[in-house]
Amino acid sequence: MSVQFLVISGGELWLHGPDGASTQIVSPFATEMLQRETDRQRTTSWKHAEREGGQGLIGPALWGRGDGNASLTPPRFHHVCRAGDPRTIYYVLSVGRTIGLFRYHLDEQREIRLFHRQQTQILGLAYLPQTRHVVMAAMHGDGTAHLDVYDEEGTHKGSITHGDSIDAAPAAMPGAEATVVYQSWGLARNADSGAVVGIGHSAVHWVDYRAGEMDSLIDDAAWDHVAPRISADRVLYAIRRPADKPLHEKAGGAAKDALLMPLRLGKAVFGYLNVFSMLYGKEPLRSAGGPRAPQLDQDLGSLWLHGRRIELSKVRNDPEYAGNLVPGSWKLVAQAGRHAAAQEIASHVAQFDVLDDGSLLYSNGYDIWHWRGGEARKLARRELVEGLLGL
């Protein structure tokens, strides 16, 4: 069976065809923004040019203008979903601090910008074909996130969830006119200051925003259930992982932190001095120690995935990750009813999607698999899979 799908990989959006070939989707809006920024820097470069008799090292290094292009931020795709037309998609894209919602026609390679705004964090995107509405999860300044409804042209119609919670990852329920399934974390706040001091486990709920009804599908304090999807035959799929321990259960780590403080402080000071050694002496303080691949010494950083910070260094160093983007405790599960036992389908699952025929796409963050009838077939490999959508 041939499968066509979209992948968000390292912030880029790729279309994989049934023949295995892949094509990158490039946003004209992002290209235009970056070109305008390049032109602006070219016309104002005299303000940052080195002055006669000065080396110009301190200024550019401190203010991030050493190469004249430091302020250019590559565009990043965050979420993608299908529209009513199978060859049309919606996606959320950011360039710098600007983030927007777009509709894209695959066959015409035509992008339509619906809206863009500044400094807004979007936590999920879904399209409901019967109401022709787009549902997005948006963060607010008080730490909450709720689901908002827009029409196909990006006009805001209202919010459909409320409360002291982080609601994210909306998905349409097939066959239901205005019903969305989503994940939700409850928030705990300081009684005096109102600041968020804790986040509960992630439960799965549904809301029918036209009937004004909602209920819980999975709510287990021991587990997070994230990125929920429902198939046409009403099987609920989600990524299940152990819930974070409450703060009072982590209190025993204080003694360990105290013991490790000198080591951590020493590493921090060494890192600080190492940066200055590279700037001025062009040599690191750390010796090479023999031949090794360059990528082993670079800071691989981290990324946020379903509300968790993933330290990319653990991919190669932690046995629990075993070379995957997420640990083995992240499992793709299926539940045929509210009180039915969950069936484990795969481990190390970072992203997945349910296809129209009931089969599944899933990824460990690198390899992409097609699962059907209990058997999995590898389709492709990409770096840092952050989103997956079957077409």
pLDDT in tens, 195-251: 888 889 999 999 999 999 999 999 999 999 999 999 999 999 999 999 986 554 544
- The alpha carbon dihedral of 12, 18, 21, 27 has a sign of negative
Share of the chain above pLDDT 70, in %: 78
Please say if the pLDDT value at position 136 is more than 90.
Answer: yes
Ranges 10-19, 80-89, 146-155, 258-267: which has the least confidence: 258-267
Judged against a pLDDT cut of 60, whether residue 295 lies above it is answered with no
Average pLDDT over every residue of 152-163: 93
pLDDT grade, residue 69 (50/70/90)? very low
Would you state the pLDDT for residue 390?
Answer: 94
Is the pLDDT score of 299 beyond 50?
A: no
Q: How far apart are the first and last CA of the chain?
A: 13
Stretch 137-159: mean pLDDT:
93
- Residues sharing a CB contact under 8 Å with residue 90, sequence separation 6 or more, in sequence order: 80, 81, 82, 83, 101, 102, 103, 104, 125, 127, 134
Residue 351 class from Cβ within 10 Å (0-12 exposed, 13-18 middle, 19+ buried)?
buried
What are the structural domain ranges in the chain? 1-37+71-119
Report pLDDT for 240. Answer: 97
**What mean pLDDT, rounded, does the chain reach?**
82
User: Per residue in 94-114, is it b (16+ CB within 10 Å) or e — as a string?
Assistant: bbbebbbbbbbebeeeebeeb
Convert 109-174 into a string of H (helix), E (strand) and C (coil): CEEEEEEEEECCCEEEEEEECCCCEEEEEEECCCCCEEEEEEECCCCEEEECCCCCEEEEEEEECC
pLDDT score at 35: 84
Lookup: tokens for 267 = 């590493």
Reported pTM:
0.79
Confidence of residue 278 (pLDDT cuts 50, 70, 90): very low
Q: Give the pLDDT of residue 1.
A: 60
Comparing 64-73, 300-309, 375-384, the range with the smallest average pLDDT is 64-73
Q: Containing H/E element for 237?
A: strand 236-242
Q: In sequence order, what DSSP letters do the residues of 294-309 get, joined into one string?
A: GGGTS---EEEETTEE
Q: What is the pLDDT of residue 282?
A: 42
Confidence of residue 149 (pLDDT cuts 50, 70, 90): very high
Lowest model confidence (mean pLDDT) among 38-47, 63-72, 182-191, 336-345: 63-72
Say how far residue 43 (Cα) sits from the centre of its chain. 35
pLDDT at 208: 95
CB of 306 closer than 8 Å to CB of 327: no
